[in-house]
Structure 1
Amino acid sequence: MTAEAVIAEMTSSSLPDWVFPPPQGFAAEDLDHLPDLPAHTELIDGSLVFVAPQRDFHSLVLYRLHVELDRFAPADHKVRQEMSVKLGPRQRPEPDLIVLAPGTFTGSEVTYFDAADVVLAVEVISPESALRDTKRKPVLYAEAGIPHFWLVEETQGKATVVVHELSPTTRSYVVTGIHHDRLKLSVPFPIDFDVATLYEP
């Protein structure tokens, strides 16, 4: 059976409501109420974005970077993995990692955090999301005022961490370092580890 034939057999009643977006697009709060959404669905510019299966590089780097951030983050900061962040009425992306500011409310019922809660957002680039991770999401994070952004990319089978800091004048990110071997920073808190250990297959 062709794809056209399968679609022809479907009726609107057999499809979930989110297949048919409202004319103005979805709102950030809609992610909490749309039934049967695939895991890790994001909202960017009012449109639902679905995540493809992740590669070994992405999975391993994400795990090891989470461990390093937990190790170095001050006790009053919290590290969260794959939690969405509300940046605006129609923006609710899901960074791979975030570090939360002191005093941020957390609990089992929390489904997202506000941009003001986030001091660092991290994206580990995947082939299918490379354009979003390197172009659209950094702009959204900067406009929402998240002060620090890291982009982790694969370079010749190894991890590279590109560190960005928010310019208060332009409200955009400035690259402050490209780290292939060692990541040693004083902001958003002191951190020092070997980047090469993030991916050792």
Structure 2
Amino acid sequence: MTVTSTQEHLYSFEQYCNYDDGTDNRYELVDGKLEVINPPTVRHFLITKYLEKVFDQEITRKILPWVCFKEAGVRTGWRKSRLTDLFIVPQEAALELIDQSAIFQTPPLLVVEIVSPDSVTRDYRYKRSEYAAVEIAEYWIVDPKENKVTVLILEEGFYEESVFIGEDKIISRQLNEIDLTVKQVLDAGNI
């Protein structure tokens, strides 16, 4: 996804939540500036769709009071908001926003980002630090180019990192019984 900043006007979080320029553009709020996020690749969409299905099945199987969303937002600071590829939140957090923009101020339980060629720094560095700052308990970085899944677990304000490759079973604290390998996730990106 290519990122383009808009004009130099600084937006508050509230202005961002209500922003509509009449286009189908998707924006993130970064230090008060709107950054256009271009649509992901087909591989990106396929992996996201697969993980959403797997997560929904696990939530249903364990009868968890959670909801899985794709392409929803999460507030990461005073004038910051990121669009995630996928995340899980408690149902009560979703109910609070039922008729509002899907930009959550309550930290999700788990966030997944699929790395694309132009999002490497954003996913590995900026989102990592922003997600830790707002105390997102678990953050997955799915990297098709590097053939790996990095799972970050929040411990005392910092992420502890585990990297999984190939046939490795992904170990998740939030979805601790999930039976999922890196190969399954990455293969989902193929047609």
Report deviation, 1:26: 1.6
Q: How high is the TM-score relative to the length of structure 2? A: 0.82
- Indicate whether 1:97 and 2:86 are aligned: yes
Give 1:3's aligned residue.
none
Q: Distance in 2 between matches of 1:19 and 1:185?
A: 39
Give 2:139's aligned residue.
149
Flag structure 2 segments of 5+ consecutive residues without an equivalent: none
**1:180–1:196 CA contact under 8 A, matched in 2:** yes
Q: Distance in 2 between matches of 1:92 and 1:113?
A: 9
Q: Distance in 2 between matches of 1:149 and 1:174?
A: 10
Flag structure 1 segments of 5+ consecutive residues without an equivalent: 1-17
After TM superposition, list the pairs within 5 Å mapping 1:40-189 onto structure 2: 40-73=26-59, 74=62, 75-106=64-95, 108-111=98-101, 112-116=103-107, 118-155=108-145, 159-168=147-156, 171-185=157-171, 187-189=173-175
Identical pairs, percent:
23
After TM superposition, list the pairs within 5 Å mapping 1:21-40 onto structure 2: 21-22=8-9, 25-36=10-21, 38-40=24-26
Change (3 A) 1:21 1:63: same
Aligned partner letter, 2:8: P
**1:183–1:192 CA contact under 8 A, matched in 2:** yes
**2:142–2:148 CA contact under 8 A, matched in 1:** yes
Matched pairs, number: 177
Which structure would you say has the larger RCO, counting Cα contacts within 8 Å and 6 or more residues apart?
Answer: 2
Give 1:192's aligned residue.
179
Q: Distance in 2 between matches of 1:102 and 1:182?
A: 30
Question: Over aligned residue pairs, what C-alpha RMSD do you find?
Answer: 2.2
SS at match of 1:142: helix
User: Higher mean Cα deviation, 70-79 or 146-155?
Assistant: 70-79
Change (3 A) 1:64 1:33: same
**Higher-Rg member (1/2):** 1
User: Higher mean Cα deviation, 82-91 or 44-53?
Assistant: 44-53
